[in-house]
Structure 1
Amino acid sequence: MKKEFAIIGLGRFGGSICRELVEQGINVLAIDSDEERVNEFANIASHAVVGDTTDETVLKSLGIRNFDHVIVAIGENIQASILTTLILNELGVSNITVKAQNDYHEKVLKKIGADRIVHPERDMGKRIAHHLVHNNVLDYLAVSDEHSIVEIRAGKKLADHTIIGLNVRARFGINIVAIKRNKDIIVSPSAEETIQDEDILIVIGADKDVNKFEKQMVE
């Protein structure tokens, strides 16, 4: 059976998730208290409704507990975000992802049952900062507060070296989990794989270790 998602809050963050899920063929219920926003998504989402999600009866009437995943993307109204999340948890929703405004908001969300908490503005800020500071970093994804997955252009310093010869795990504490080469992706490359100048390395590790690798081994 196809999974069904509900998105509460149709601002820039919630709206972009809605559009992407629909493009992937997923059924989406879009909810917002603003009728104008709901009308905007009426022809995009599977269903779009105006509703106050801080009212338990509204969520019950929408059958919210039957959805596989509910995303709370409410913008500036932290109180509404917290109350909505609390009600979703009490109704037994199995997967709840919530957009957090700040660290305090995140702490509260963790205590009241959010399964996943995202900081889109903070995370995007980190990605942009990495692009600006490290010329060879093509993309950056935080997997925790201290660990990341980073795409790094190999360059001449790493070219013609094998993975085992570089010994990056012992020297830097990072792992090369994949290599992008032209249109191909080598997943879990062997220790004997020779790195080429134009390769893009996908590495995972603690931020401090990845930074050390970038400074010492990447031009």
Structure 2
Amino acid sequence: MNKKFAVIGLGDFGLSVALSLAEKGAEVIAIDRDMEIIEDIKDKVTYAVRMDSTDEKALRSLGVDKVDAVIISMGTNFEDTILTSVLLLQMKVKKVIARATSKIHEKILTKLGVDQVISPDFEIANKVANTLMSDDILDFVSIGEEYSIFQIRAPKAFIGKSLQEIDLRIRYNLNLITIKREYKVVDEATGEELTKQRIYGVPTSTTIVEENDILVLFGKEKDIKKVID
């Protein structure tokens, strides 16, 4: 059975979520007050409806109370975000996810009891800042409560050593998830040697860190800094 979702607010973020869910095979109810947006998306989702999301009868008539999750993304219209969130919680929707555009909004939505509050603008800004501040941090994904998954270049001090010797968990309070390792292939058409990456798999204590390895680590930012400083 396909999962069912409702997306309320079809700005850039909400529209992207709705289209992505639909492309993955989910049933999507897309809701916005702008008829032009509804016309643009109506052939790409299950239902696209112009309506007021604070109207409980209208929401129930669409079956919003029976979906697997509702994503609220109304941008700067925070009053409607609050009213819609409260209404959905009262309707006992399985999961309510709301987008916050400020830290204060994030706190308010959390206090209301929203199941998940997302702040994509802050997360992207933090991600860009971290990667700019250190050439060794290639990418990271925050998963909450100070913890993230980081991809970093293998420090010179680690190269040629086994994971047992490095002892990431004890010395740095970090867990290694996997290693991305370079390998060479020859292009059959041109004869040119190409460099590609593959996932090493599940590293063991005897795994040796090689030059150009990318370590995928789980832990706190303050502990990652101990490795790359």
- Pick the TM interval, shorter chain: over 0.9
| Correspondence list, 1:1-219, <5 A | 1-154=1-154, 156-182=156-182, 183-215=197-229
Identity %: 35
Gaps of 5+ in 1: none
- TM-score calculated relative to the size of structure 2: 0.89
Report the Cα offset of residue 30 of structure 1: 0.8
Once the two structures are superposed, what CA deviation does each residue of 1:143-185 show, in whole Å capped at 9, x if it has no partner?
2242211111225442222111111111111111121224432
Give the AA of the match of 2:77: N
Once the two structures are superposed, what CA deviation does each residue of 1:18-77 show, in whole Å capped at 9, x if it has no partner?
122122222211111111111121122121111110111221111111101111111110
Give the AA of the match of 2:208: T
Query: Considering only CA atoms, is the larger Rg found in Structure 1 or Structure 2?
Result: 2
Cα root mean square deviation, aligned: 1.5
Q: 1:23 to 1:155 in 2, by over 3 A?
A: farther
Count of equivalent residues: 215
Gaps of 5+ in 2: 183-196
Q: 1:148 to 1:81 in 2, by over 3 A?
A: same
- TM-score calculated relative to the size of structure 1: 0.92
Give the AA of the match of 1:74: M
> What SS class does the counterpart of residue 29 from structure 2 fall into?
strand
Distance in 2 (alpha carbons) for counterparts of 1:20 and 1:157: 42
More deviation in 120-129 or 37-46?
Answer: 37-46
> What SS class does the counterpart of residue 49 from structure 1 fall into?
strand
